[in-house]
Structure 1
């Protein structure tokens, strides 16, 4: 319905303006702290991955160069390469 599409932006604006949003900081503060404490380890892990990204690329290139060589190739090369790809993604 074309009329609905034409009126959608104005209707959305009026609905957003009519919403009453209040925050009770006394109840929200513990949840904010829990979210911060849960997110901090994830940020640290992301920082370590970012810090070691060049090493991961070099190690993956080393694994790729060893594939197909009788003395250097092993069955662990593929799982290691997949794990490095997942970490870098």
Structure 2
């Protein structure tokens, strides 16, 4: 499944789309995550294979975690600051 969000620098308009490749609603949830994180100029692809266990609604948590993780690893997002006092 994939989602992308491109543009918005000067016009404020975005080109964006998604596809869930049979994983119902997954692409739309990935795109929604990109929107709420206000990222632009990114394409995220998440691959999943069936390992014999039905994940049910938990699959969306895993897909969103993978999406957020790749945004963190690529430097598009910054890790949350540790709010603990030392």
With structure 1 as the length reference, what TM-score do the two structures score?
A: 0.23
Greater fraction helix: 1
Q: Which has the higher contact order (CA 8 A, sep 6+)?
A: 2
